[in-house]
C-alpha cells in the first residue's frame, strides 16, 4: 500500500513510500498544511477563501480555492486521497493509515507521557517521550509567518519544552544524572531564559558532585538574565549559589586543615606552608578543569 510521510516540523515535506517528494505549488502546499494542522475540523469554503485569498473578489477567491483543491488532489499519489468534501462543500483533511504525519505522532507521544505524574512514569514511558522529542526537527512550518501558523508553532514549541523538562526531572529522580543534565541543556539551548531550568541543572550537578559546573551554570544564568532582561537571578537561585560557595569553602578549609596536621617540609629552617596552600589551589583548579572536560565529552556523545 502506498504510504505518504508528511513532515511539518522544519521545512514542509511530503514523501512517498518510493522516496519521491511531492512537488506542490506554494499556495497548494500552504492550504494542505492548514488542513493537516486542523484535521479535526470541517472548513467552509467561505472561511478558506477569506483566509488564503482575502485580497481577491469573492468569485475570484472561490475559483482560486477550487483550482488549488484540484491541484492538491492531482498532486497526491494514486490511492491516497487526503480530502473529504461534504455535500455543502466543506473541506476536511481525511486522516487514514496510508499517512504518517510527524506533528500528530509528536503530539500523541508527548501527551502519552505527560498525562502521567512523575512518580507514575516508567522506562517505557520515558522512551515514548524520547521518541517524541526526536520528531521535533525544528519549528513548525519554517518559513511560514501566517497568524494560524504562529499560534500553532508556539503551542507545539511549548509542548516540546514541557517534554524536555519532564525527561530532565524523570532522569534526575532516578539518578541517571548525565541524561537529566543533557535534556536540561537541550532545553536551555532553545529557551535560555528559563531560570527554573538553570536551578534544576545546578541541583543535578550538585547531586553528581560537580560543584564547579553548578557554579558555572549559575554564572551562565546570571549573564543571560542581565544581558537579555536586565534583571538579577531570583533569591532562590542566589541562595543556591551561596550554598555552593559555602560548600566549596568548607572543602577548601578542610583540605588546608588536613595539610596543617601533616608533616610540613622545612626549607632553610622554616616550614613552607605557603607552598602547600599554592599546591592545594592548583589541585582545585585542575579538578575544575577536569569537570569541564567531562562535560565537553558528554556533549559530544
Kindly report the CATH class assigned to 102-261: mainly alpha
Query: What is the pLDDT, as a whole number, of residue 62?
Result: 94
Provide the β-strand partners of residue 140.
9
What pLDDT sits at residue 104?
95
Q: At what angle do helices 235-260 and 211-229 cross, to 10 degrees?
A: 150
What pLDDT was estimated at residue 15? 92
- Distance between CA 203 and CA 218 in Å, rounded? 11
With left for phi above 0 and alpha for psi between -120 and 50, is residue 117 left, alpha or beta? Answer: beta
Cα 86 off chain centre by: 39
Q: Which pLDDT belongs to residue 92?
A: 94
CATH number of 4-97: 1.10.10.10
Q: Which residue has the higher pLDDT, 275 or 38?
A: 38
CA gap 161, 155 in Å, rounded: 10
* Residues 146-194 pLDDT 10s: 999 999 999 999 999 999 999 999 999 999 999 999 999 999 999 999 9
CATH 1.25.40.10 maps onto the chain at 102-261
Amino acid at each position: 500500500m502506498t504510504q505518504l510521510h508528511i513532515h511539518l516540523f522544519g521545512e514542509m515535506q511530503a514523501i512517498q513510500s518510493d522516496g519521491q517528494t511531492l512537488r506542490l505549488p506554494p499556495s497548494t502546499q500552504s492550504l494542505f498544511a492548514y488542513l493537516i494542522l486542523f484535521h479535526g475540523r470541517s472548513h467552509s469554503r467561505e472561511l478558506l477563501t477569506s483566509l488564503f485569498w482575502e485580497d481577491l473578489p469573492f468569485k475570484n477567491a472561490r475559483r482560486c480555492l477550487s483550482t488549488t483543491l484540484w491541484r492538491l488532489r492531482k498532486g497526491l499519489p494514486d490511492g491516497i486521497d487526503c480530502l473529504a468534501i461534504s455535500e455543502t462543500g466543506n473541506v476536511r483533511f481525511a486522516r487514514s493509515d496510508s499517512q504518517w504525519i510527524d506533528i500528530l505522532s509528536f503530539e500523541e507521544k508527548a501527551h502519552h507521557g505527560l498525562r502521567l505524574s512523575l512518580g507514575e512514569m516508567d522506562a517505557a514511558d520515558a522512551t515514548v517521550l524520547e521518541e517524541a522529542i526526536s520528531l521535533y526537527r525544528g519549528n513548525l512550518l519554517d518559513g511560514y509567518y501566517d497568524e494560524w501558523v504562529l499560534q500553532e508553532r508556539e503551542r507545539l514549541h511549548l509542548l516540546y519544552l514541557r517534554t524536555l523538562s519532564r525527561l530532565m526531572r524523570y532522569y534526575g529522580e532516578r539518578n541517571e544524572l548525565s541524561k537529566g543534565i543533557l535534556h536540561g541543556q537541550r532545553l536551555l539551548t532553545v529557551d535560555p531564559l528559563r531560570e527554573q531550568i538553570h536551578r534544576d541543572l545546578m541541583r543535578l550537578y550538585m547531586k553528581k558532585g560537580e560543584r564547579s559546573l553548578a557554579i558555572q551554570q549559575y554564572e551562565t544564568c546570571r549573564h543571560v538574565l542581565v544581558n537579555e532582561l536586565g534583571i538579577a537571578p531570583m533569591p532562590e537561585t542566589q541562595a543556591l549559589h551561596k550554598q555552593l560557595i559555602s560548600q566549596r569553602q568548607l572543602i577548601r578549609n578542610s583540605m588546608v586543615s588536613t595539610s596543617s596536621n601533616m608533616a610540613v617540609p622545612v626549607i632553610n629552617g622554616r616550614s613552607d606552608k605557603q607552598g602547600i596552600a599554592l599546591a592545594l589551589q592548583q589541585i582545585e583548579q585542575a579538578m575544575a578543569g577536569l569537570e569541564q572536560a567531562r562535560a565537553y565529552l558528554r556533549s559530544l556523545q
